[in-house]
Each structure stands twice: as C-alpha cells, then as structure tokens.
Amino acid sequence: MTQLLYYADSTQLEFSAEVTAVQENKVSLSATAFYPEGGGQNADVGALAWDGGEARVTDTQKDKATGEIWHTLEGTLPPVGGAVRGEVDAQTRWRNMQRHSGEHLLAQAFFRLDPRFAVAAVSMRNAECTIDLEGQPSETDVRTAETLLRETLGRTRLKLRTVDVPEAELDRYPLRRTTKVTGTVRLVIFEDETGFFDVSACGGLHVPWAAQAGPVAVLRTERIKGDLTRVVFVAGEEAGELLGGIYQQSRALAAGFSAGPADLTARVEALRLSHRESEAQLSALRSALIAHEIAAAPLETLGEVHLRVLELVDAALLPAALNAVPRGEVLLVTVAGGKVGLASACGVHAGEVLRSALSVSGGKGGGKPEAAQGQTDNVAALLAAVRERLHAAAAPLKP
C-alpha cells in the first residue's frame, strides 16, 4: 500500500520514492505526495523524474480495493524498483485546497444561518464550485451566509486540525453532516481558541488557516431537481482573480459613460429605458410605414376576394405587415430573396392557400388560417398560383 505523504503534511510538494508497479501508462509508488481525485476534489498533477528520464503526472487515482495510488504519466515510464523524485504542481494543489476549504466554510455559514440548509452534494472540479443545499434558501439567505463567512474569515483565526476518530467516538464532535464512513473516520476541523467552527468527515486536503481560503464569493444560485438550490461560488486566488477582472471590466465599461463602477448600474438602467423608448418609437414608425405601403398597394378583385400585393425590401417588416391586413381583404407580401407571406381577414384560409401555391412554385411553407409564411425561388409563379386559388376561393381548395 502506498504511503500517503499528503496527509502527514498537505504543504509537502516534493518527495522521493520507489516505483512498486507499472500498469500501462501508470505507475504506483512506495510513497506519494500526489493527492488522488476524490470527494469532489480534483487530483494533483505535476512531474516525476529519475536518472535518465522524466514525465508529467497528468492524473492521480486511488484503487479503493488495494489502497494503491496510481499516477498517470505522459511520456516514458520509470522501471519497477527504480528511485524517482516527485514534484506536485503547487498552484493546482493550492487552489484545489482553497476550493475545498471554501466549500466547508461556506456550507457551515449556511448551516449556522439555518440548519435546514443541509448540503446534499458538492463539486470543486472547476473554479466555479457548487454546493447543492436543501431548505430552499432565498437570495437574502445567500447574501447573509456570504457576509457571515466574510466576517468570520476576517475577524477570527480559524486553524485547520485533522484527527482520526473511532466511529464510536464521533458523538464527541459536532459534525455538520452525518457520515457513512465506518471504522476510523478522518475529521477536518476549523477552530480557534473559542472552539469549533466547522467539523466534517472528509478525506480531502485543506488550507492550514481558514482565512487562506478567502475571499469566498457567491456568484449565483440555481434551482435544480429535488427542490435543491445550487449555490455557485468561487474561493481563494481564483475568486480574487475573477472579482478583480470583473472590476476592471466594469471600470472600463463605466468610463464609456463618463462614470465610475458604482454608477454603472444606474447608467445601464437609463440606457435600457432609452432603448425601450426607442424600440417603441421604431415600432410605431414601422406600423405607420406598413399602413402607408398597404394603402398604396393596388386592390385586386378576384371573384369574391379582394387582394393586395405588397413588396418589401426588409424581411424584418414581414410579421408587422401580415398583422396589418385590412379587414375584408387578403394581403400577399413578397420580400427580396424569396420570402413570402399571406394574411387573410376575410375568411380565406391563408395557410392552405399559400401552401398550395408554394407547391406549384417549387417552394415550401404554410401556416394558420389568418397568416402564413414560406420561401420560394419563383415568386412570379407563386403570385399567379395565389391569384388563381383566390379567384376560386368559393370552391374547395386543392393542392
């Protein structure tokens, strides 16, 4: 079984060991500081080196049956029995620990706010980590928990302590969540001189001091299946980078309004209001233009049906035109490029007429009795077919 150096000292990143087994592109070592994937925390990566060779460690996994830690290598493999020097990638390890500690601490903040906010699942695979909570916390609850944790990290000196506790003695500790682990249970504890802040059964790695996981910022919440609320958060260096980047972007955007970041929301709201007003004015102008164009279009009498044919250049005006068909008439609209539409306000089934006419002109389309749209490369044939069918509208329509 591999000796687990990462539990003895989570800050140890370099070590020496012996290759005990080789399996495809993986090696097992007599000891390792590489943490294997598990408990929602990513595996460590880094490098192995030996006399005459070196390789990148791209993944680390634990064989639950044997307890062996397998290191996936990119490159040549060292020989069995050979001595190797390992080096864990410092940034990956540190950020994984910050994420994991941030999850424990934020979950405890929610729990202290309301014990109903129990953790159902967690994930720290990406910079944006998640906690799935029961109890349906509101946005106010989320911000209150975030504030509680921020104040705790800033005003206390919570230190990490890990202990291995026999299952029978777990009742001595205020576990935030019950555990399914039996036998000896590893507890991760954040505490100060006043007592426990968070106690959790956990096999992962954490920062030595709780404040090193900060800042912890909640980005958003999502309601997911099972009446759970997913809390998306960032922690540590990744949170600082993200928040700093957002501030710089906000500052640059605000500069375009001759304002500061604090004024950006008000400026954007004013811009949104102005946009809505402009859209309303544009819509009114479009309606007036369409009404004028329809009124100017010649009125054709085809048997008992009155038809107007309108040519448009802008396809964006087609829906408005179809909605403006005069009462008692049929309106045929053509657009450059072959887009066509037919609207009826006299009892003629626009969808059936257009679909039938399009079948003649080699196009496709259809729609409802009051309005229909389609596409054809032969507009002239379509116009002729529509006129023919409208002229015979008193008789059953046939394709």
Based on the fold, state whether residues 102 and 62 are members of the same structural domain: no
pLDDT of residue 23: 92
**Helix boundaries (H) for 56-185:** 90-113, 139-155
Measured CA to CA, the distance from residue 250 to residue 243 in angstroms comes to 10
Q: What is the CATH number of the domain that holds 378?
A: 3.10.310.40
Other Cβ atoms less than 10 A from the Cβ of 344: the count is: 28
264 part of a folded domain: no
Pick out the chain residues at pLDDT < 50.
395-399
314 part of a folded domain: yes
Measured CA to CA, the distance from residue 351 to residue 369 in angstroms comes to 5
Domain that holds residue 240: 94-251
21 part of a folded domain: yes
pLDDT of residue 394: 55
Based on the fold, state whether residues 183 and 303 are members of the same structural domain: no
Say how many CA atoms lie within 13 Å of 75 toward its Cβ.
14
Based on the fold, state whether residues 102 and 246 are members of the same structural domain: yes
265 part of a folded domain: no
- Tell me which H or E stretch contains 2: none
Measured CA to CA, the distance from residue 192 to residue 23 in angstroms comes to 45
243 part of a folded domain: yes
Measured CA to CA, the distance from residue 200 to residue 197 in angstroms comes to 10
Alpha-carbon separation of residue 146 from 132, 199, 219 (angstroms)? 15, 19, 10
pLDDT of residue 180: 85
Nearest CA to 211 out of 238, 194, 190, 186 is that of 190
Tens digits of residue pLDDT in 292-301:
999 999 999 9
Does the pTM of the predicted model rise above 0.95?
A: no
Based on the fold, state whether residues 80 and 98 are members of the same structural domain: no
205 part of a folded domain: yes
259 part of a folded domain: no
How many structural domains comprise the chain? 3
